[in-house]
Amino acid sequence: MCYTDRTFDAQSWCGMAIEPDCDISVAIVAPAIQVLSKGTMARVMPPDGLCLYHAVRYAQNPRMYDSVATAQNGMLIGAGSKELYHAAAELQRELVAACVSSGLHERANRLSKPGSEGYPEEEDFAMLARIASVPFEIIIDSAPNMQPIKYGDGSPRARFILKLISDDAGHQSAHWDVDALYDQSTKRRRITGNGSR
């Protein structure tokens, strides 16, 4: 499916979450911030079914994530990881509660489901930006000509990218990572971001 305009069906590009299968005691720790080209980096989010919520939490407080070790498969491990998983899950619960309080019960039921069935869709992004107080942009890796779509009020604090990732067995699923963070004090982009966009 090709996404070339502002309308797209999030359900069609959100796959099942990849479950963590690494033994923490033998995990190979890899840097979560990957250098893409000279001076530019992107932040990998855990592939645990809450990746978009992790991305929003990262935009709120990057230092919290940067201080936690990451396994090769992208999962957070070690000291502080449990708190970050709880923070992402709490943001999901806040989104569900906001839908319920707005009378959007079908949407709340959908967002409460596990895996791709409960993944936020485009209609949920503005509400997610509002409840987290994090305006953001999204882009889709498979649509290189797509202009970023902004959600939330004010200048965007981050840009999130949807891409396909593979597990060890080669199964692909959709996954959100942080493509860029924006420095709000100078309105200039920080060095975390893909310079090709």
pTM value is 0.73
CATH code reported for the domain at 10-193: 3.90.70.80
Question: Can you give the pLDDT at residue 14?
Answer: 33
Mean pLDDT across the stretch 146-171? Answer: 90
Please write the tens of the pLDDT for every residue from 66-124. Answer: 888 887 777 887 788 889 999 999 999 999 999 999 999 999 999 998 776 788 988 99
User: What confidence tier does 15 reach under pLDDT thresholds 50, 70, 90?
Assistant: very low
DSSP collapsed to 3 states, the chain: CCCCCCCCCHHHHCCCCCCCCCCHHHCCEECCEEEEECCEEEECCCCCCCHHHHHHHHHHCHHHHHCCEEECCCCEECCCHHHHHHHHHHHHHHHHHHHHHCCCHHHHHHHCCCHHHHCCCHHHHHHHHHHHCCCEEEEECCCCCCCCEEECCCCCCEEEEEEEEECCCCCEEEEEEEEEEEECCCCEEEEEECCCC
pLDDT score for 53: 94
Average pLDDT, rounded, for the chain: 74
The dihedral built from the CA positions of residue 161, 196, 136 and 83, taken in this order, carries a sign that is positive
pLDDT tens digits for range 48-61: 889 999 999 999 98
Angstrom distances, CA of residue 176 to CA of 38, 106, 185: 23, 24, 26
**CA atoms of 136 and 155, how far apart (whole Å):** 8
